[in-house]
Amino acid sequence: MSETTVVPQAAPEDPWRAFRSRLEEAALLAELEPGLTEIVITPEKVLEVAVPFRRDDGRIEMCQGWRVQHDTSRGPGKGGVRFHPALTASEVMALSAEMTIKCAVVGLPFGGAKGGVRVETRGLSVGELERLTRRYAFDVSALLGPDRDVPAPDVNTDARVMAWIMDTISMMRGEATPGVVTGKPLAIGGSQGHVGATSTGVTICVQSIFAQLGASLAGARAVVQGVGKVGGPLVYLLTSLGMRVIAVADVYGAIHNPAGLDPAALNGHIAATGSVVGFPLADPIPPGALFGLECEVLVPAALGGVIDAGVAEQLGCKMIVEAANGPTLPDADAVLERRKILVVPDVLANAGGVTASYFEWAQSRQGFAWDGQLVAERLRAVMQQAFEATWERAEALKVPLRKAAITLGLERVAEATRLRGLFP
């Protein structure tokens, strides 16, 4: 284990400004004219709403919520709903722009959107969470619809939350609207293969980058930060490729076993205790030491903003595959490039989730459910094609994969904007 202590930093004060800088850099690489650059970068709609809801004891609690549509030139807005106590308008704007690029990179007929409520969900009863969700859905309902804007689960939201949003919109409009959200339960129009699709997409990108480099997956070491909806399944999926997941971390602590962690035993421990802490088949390590461990692949799978320039200088990995949204800050990009640490960026690596959402949306529109094998085959095809297109763009431009992916996505959005023209 490395002796270096690496302390992940907090997310930037202005995530939108940080991601906008990446978009502007990509616009220069794509040689977009200034007016078109402003059109494709500037968010189309930013809705801020008050979200009051009643607690079980009768008290009224007031929260703040947002829904941002960044770009809809390629299709309806698409993006998750996040409930988090530190959520800001700037973060929602950045995440919506990332969704614009992500959908374009994997070739989906969607634009980018994002939404959420600044709220601490820990301690909320099921009834309180439902009332909060339904009030938020009502407040942003004017923006939502299968042909307007289609939410999905994100941090601290799940299939149950999507069911409440769908039901709220259906009640308001007096008709069934299964296509208004994705990530729904199967019983009300959800899709086979949606659960775990983000993790599957990350795994496909790991396979693709190893194949591109001519490297062997057998015995390769991986470190996973975060063991939630995405990171949890990744421990099993990466191990199934023959890799050794030597360390994982959650909000409570980190553990390390150089021989590799047993996914089934680890999942059982997490289910029983709620944390990786105390797992008997691994040694505890300081959370700040996680990123300094020597490994082939680091997979940040928690919240954004954990790798800044200082952390990047001390990383022990050879490559990063970003399962989280925005885990790497712009000031780290140059450091990673200088240190020749390959990065498969979030707008490509974690696009499996939105791809599966597209499949669910299509099934809702068709009124016909696909079987799980078809979903898996189409997901792999989309992810592999997107990886290959990004790799080819990176070689043509002689830039890292992040710049190539954002440039590729921005070029596709700009093409749609040109073809549609400017109204009026």
**Exposure class string for 330-357: b at 16+ Cβ within 10 A, else e:** bebbebbbeeebbbbbbbbbbbbbbbbb
Closest Cα partner for 91 from 331, 305, 315?
305
Q: Is 340 one of the catalytic residues?
A: no
3-class DSSP assignment, residue 211: helix
Q: What is the largest CA-CA distance in the chain?
A: 66
Cα 148 from chain centre: 21
Those residues whose C-beta lies under 8 Å from the C-beta of residue 158, and which sit 6 or more positions away, are: 183, 229
d(CA 298, CA 234): 12
Those residues whose C-beta lies under 8 Å from the C-beta of residue 273, and which sit 6 or more positions away, are: none
d(CA 321, CA 333): 14
3-class DSSP assignment, residue 100: helix
d(CA 214, CA 221): 16
Q: Give the position of tokens 């959908």.
A: 103
In contact, 417 and 110? CB cutoff 8 Å: no
In contact, 346 and 67? CB cutoff 8 Å: no
Name the strand (E) or helix (H) holding 184: none
d(CA 414, CA 98): 15
Active-site position among 45, 78, 102, 114: 114
Amino acid found at 54 = R
Report, as residue numbers or ranges, the catalytic residues: 114
